[in-house]
Amino acid sequence: MEPLPGIETQADLAARASAEARAAPASAPMVGPRDLLATAPPSTDPRPAPFGRASQDPVYAALDLGTNNCRLLIARPTPGRRDGFRVIDSFSRIVRLGESLSRSGELGSAAVARTIDALEICRDKMDHRGVTRARLVATEACRAARNGAEFIARVRERTGLELEIVDRETEAHLAAAGSVALADRSAESVLLFDIGGGSSEIVWLGRAGTLPRAEPRPIDMELRERVRFWASLKLGVVTLAEMFGGLEVSDAVFEAMIDHVMDELAGFVLSVASARRCRNFHLLGTSGTVTTIAGVFLGLARYDRRRVDGLWMSSRDVDHAVAALRKMSYDERAANACIGLGRADLVLAGCAILEAIRRAFPAERVRIADRGLREGILLQMISADRAAMQGTE
């Protein structure tokens, strides 16, 4: 596989360090990510609040609290690389904050307790790593819940963390910012999608500019020019599984799921009907659904981000992987290392959302991104701080 315009994780660093110890002197330059883009979400203030004291060696944190997961990345900027970073710590836990939200309209007490426990771990990690800048966002569950504001206040009281409930447009742009580097530069357009727990974001990307420029433009401007259309569907794997069931999904139920998603997609399909495509048009997916499908396709005994992030799959490859997932029983899905007990009842709902997207936007290729909103947040903060430093020089 060609070198990816990627992000160095702890696993990446460990693997590369072992190879470099054998093949290069200790002073060999670090190879970092290249050509990553971030964006300041339109109509919002993209400036992250300071988390700790200023430092000449900044440490950034990005937290994404969704309907199903609480996920944290902590990173340092990559020296000499435009807006690149390397991950120094991370955390991910399935908390199901939005459990039963579609029926009750509120965040349940057990879900809130689970989530606060996870957020306390995130706070301790940020303290331990000396985080100097952080942006901590909450998405659909907190947007939709009647007691969302009450939950935010409780988190502040219990953990000291200031969560920011972001709107749908901001969420879509941040997801795009974190994964757009994997879009084929030769494609006239690319459909990027992020299948979440309570919502799913879809972004139509135009071709990146190819004309040389005397000076690089702000990266938020670059991405904003590429985002031609976007939509946020009020459904995700949790809401769809609660609506149709997720333990055992018959062919009829699976098709009913797809039909439901197709109805939700109809408006976006109309809005992009006249958008230009070419033979290099492809889908770019970022979510647990697509990384699971990639892991099943690769036959991984244990999930490996380095093999999944940036993977190209043909339409037939996706068909076969989804078919394999649908043949598994609930217990078999729970025992699969790329799925696990926490998502065994959700993954088929994710497959139905993916299938609806594929039917609405047929493409011969799908690229898998194990990156997204958190990476977009980090890139945005790093870009803003570097721009501010350059402005004072």
- Separation CA 240–CA 316 (nearest Å): 25
Per the domain annotation, does 392 fall within a domain? no
Residues 153 and 191 in one domain: no
Last residue of a domain, one of 119, 134, 169: 169
- Separation CA 231–CA 253 (nearest Å): 25
Per the domain annotation, does 391 fall within a domain? no
Residues 200 and 348 in one domain: yes
CATH of the domain at 232: 3.30.420.150
Residues 304 and 163 in one domain: no
Per-residue pLDDT of the chain (393 residues; tens, 9 = 90+): 444 554 655 555 455 444 433 333 333 222 232 233 333 333 334 444 455 544 468 999 999 999 999 999 999 998 876 668 999 999 999 999 999 999 999 999 999 999 999 999 999 999 999 999 999 999 999 999 999 999 999 999 999 999 999 999 999 999 999 999 999 999 999 999 999 999 999 999 998 765 455 455 555 666 778 899 999 999 999 999 999 999 999 999 999 999 999 999 999 999 999 998 999 999 999 999 999 999 999 999 999 999 999 999 999 999 999 999 999 999 999 999 999 999 999 999 999 999 999 999 999 999 999 999 999 999 989 988 887 777 655
- Separation CA 329–CA 335 (nearest Å): 10
Instruction: Please tell me the predicted confidence (pLDDT) of residue 207.
Output: 85
Residues 204 and 350 in one domain: yes
Instruction: Please tell me the predicted confidence (pLDDT) of residue 36.
Output: 31
Per the domain annotation, does 136 fall within a domain? yes
Residues 259 and 141 in one domain: no
CATH of the domain at 122: 3.30.420.40
Per the domain annotation, does 390 fall within a domain? no
Instruction: Please tell me the predicted confidence (pLDDT) of residue 1.
Output: 42
Instruction: Please tell me the predicted confidence (pLDDT) of residue 224.
Output: 78
Residues 251 and 112 in one domain: no
Residues 147 and 227 in one domain: no
Query: Residue by residue, what is the 3-state secondary structure of the chain?
Result: CCCCCCCECHHHHHHHHHHHHHHCCCCCCCCCCCCCCCCCCCCCCCCCCECCCCCCCCCEEEEEECCCEEEEEEEEECCCCCCCEEEEEEEEEECCCCCCHHHHCCCCHHHHHHHHHHHHHHHHHHHHHCCCEEEEEECHHHHHCCCHHHHHHHHHHHHCCCCEECCHHHHHHHHHHHHHHHCCCCCCEEEEEEECCCCEEEEEEECCCCCCCCCCCCHHHHHHHHEEEEEEECCCHHHHHHHHCCCCCCHHHHHHHHHHHHHHHHHHHHHCCCCCCCCCCEEEEECHHHHHHHHHHHCCCCCCHHHHCCCEEEHHHHHHHHHHHHHCCHHHHHHCCCCCCCCCCCHHHHHHHHHHHHHHCCCCEEEEECCCHHHHHHHHHHHHHHHHHHHHC
Residues 95 and 235 in one domain: no
Per the domain annotation, does 384 fall within a domain? no
Q: How many domains does the chain have?
A: 2
Residues 226 and 301 in one domain: yes
Residues 160 and 244 in one domain: no
Instruction: Please tell me the predicted confidence (pLDDT) of residue 220.
Output: 65
Last residue of a domain, one of 147, 169, 191: 169
Query: What residue numbers bound the domain in which 18 lies?
Result: 10-47+55-169
Residues 66 and 143 in one domain: yes
Residues 158 and 221 in one domain: no
